[in-house]
Amino acid sequence: MNQLEQLKQFTTVVADTGDFQSIKAYAPQDATTNPSLILKAVQKPEYRPLLEKAVADSPDGSIEDVVDRLLIAFGVEILKFVPGRVSTEIDAALSFDTEATVAKGRELIALYEAAGVSRERVLIKIASTWEGIRAAEILEQDGIHCNLTLLFSLVQAVACAEAGVKLISPFVGRIFDWYKKSTGTDYQGADDPGVQSVKRIYQYYRKFGFDTEVMGASFRNTSQILELAGCDLLTISPDLLQKLADTEGAVERKLNADGADGLEKIAVDEKSFRFLLNEDAMATEKLAEGIRAFCADSVKLKKMIEALR
């Protein structure tokens, strides 16, 4: 078996793309999207009809209404190619507004259900701010499962688990980017700070009995992926899926609960969350940067929609 086939024995593989053909080619269990991936997809001729239809179906609606319809259109199509779930992201501009995030999550699920998709097949993606985590807690109580994204630190992960969040997406590659730039070191294998962050979160959850799923995300190379074999899920871009599919060689389970003994339980309330996040320069910078980048791509998408109206 190639490395991708072997990886699937230990970990649920998720496609990190809005490209249906890539999803079909690699047969993942789930798929994730975000504003940047949707923006990239609608610039391809084969996906332009989805954008045009979303605009046509909402002639009197707001730009936000059209964006919602477009997100759902992509999600519905993606679910034709995966047996599991699709993650659909809430506008990052709402990252610090709990009430608005809850309202948008409910709206998106209502649109999915109107399209014949049950809520069990959808994860609502929300940035891992304090306000986003609180919104996810409310949505989970409604039976709307959430994927907490832009997650860079243990305190974010602990707050998500204590809120009963279904799944988190720690960003391996962006953590690696920060430390490489900060230290000048090109980290390899198990020494990679992004890999170590996910291992610590995984071990913490296992030690203290949390059910929240861990889905490593944002990979820069296949080494990072293989070091996390055994993680609950890994969401992987098409180019790295192809590299794994093209590569022979043994894949071993690397991730387990070993090493959790030194971890102590963290008490997380709003004050401690904000303080510990602030103490982590990498997490603070990458969270803010990620929100800004997703907001910028959302603005570009809205401008494309305006040009079609």
Residue 277 token pair = 């996040």
- Asked whether the predicted pLDDT for residue 21 surpasses 90, the reply is no
Does the pLDDT at position 286 exceed 90?
A: yes
The 3 state secondary structure assigned to the chain is CCHHHHHHHHCEEEEECCCHHHHHHHCCCEEECCHHHHHHHHCCHHHHHHHHHHHHCCCCCCHHHHHHHHHHHHHHHHCCCCCCCEEEECCHHHCCCHHHHHHHHHHHHHHHHHCCCCHHHEEEEEECCHHHHHHHHHHHHCCCCEEEEEECCHHHHHHHHHCCCCEEEEEHHHHHHHHHHHHCCCCCHHHCHHHHHHHHHHHHHHHHCCCCEEEEECCCCHHHHHHCCCCCEEEECHHHHHHHHCCCCCCCCCCCCCCHHHCCCCCCCHHHHHHHHHHCHHHHHHHHHHHHHHHHHHHHHHHHHHHHC
So what's the pLDDT on residue 262?
Answer: 81
Total domains present in the chain: 1
The average pLDDT across 21-34 equals 93
Looking at the predicted structure, is the pLDDT value of residue 98 above 90? yes
Residue 200 lies in domain: 3-308
**Is 259 a residue whose pLDDT tops 90?**
no
At position 272, the amino acid (one-letter code) is S
> pLDDT-based confidence at 309, cuts 50/70/90?
confident
* Least confident window among 8-17, 37-46, 127-136: 37-46
Q: For residues 219 and 235, give the distance between their C-alpha atoms in angstroms, rounded to a whole number.
A: 8
What are the structure tokens assigned to 207, written together?
């030690």
Q: What is the pLDDT of residues 169-180, one digit of tens each?
A: 999 999 999 999
**pTM for the full predicted model:** 0.95
- Kindly give, in sequence order, each residue whose CB lies less than 8 Å from that of residue 73, ignoring residues fewer than 6 positions away: 50, 53, 54
State residue 237's pLDDT score. 96
Residue pLDDT, tens place only, 178-203: 999 999 999 999 999 999 999 999 99
pLDDT tens per residue across span 58-89: 888 999 999 999 999 999 999 999 999 999 99
Active site residue 125: yes
Distance between CA atoms of 55 and 38, rounded to whole angstroms? Answer: 15
Give the pLDDT confidence score for residue 261 in this predicted structure: 77
Q: What angle do CA 50, 237, 10 make, to 5 degrees?
A: 125
Mean pLDDT for 38-42 is: 92
169: CATH: 3.20.20.70
Distance CA(104)–CA(259), nearest Å, equals 39
- Does residue 4 have a pLDDT over 80? yes
Written as six digits, the tokens of 251 are 């894949």
Q: How high is the pLDDT of residue 256?
A: 84
Would the pLDDT of 35 be above 90?
no
Catalytic annotation, pick one of 8, 104, 125, 166: 125
pLDDT of residue 129: 98
What number is the average pLDDT over the span 197-219?
Answer: 96
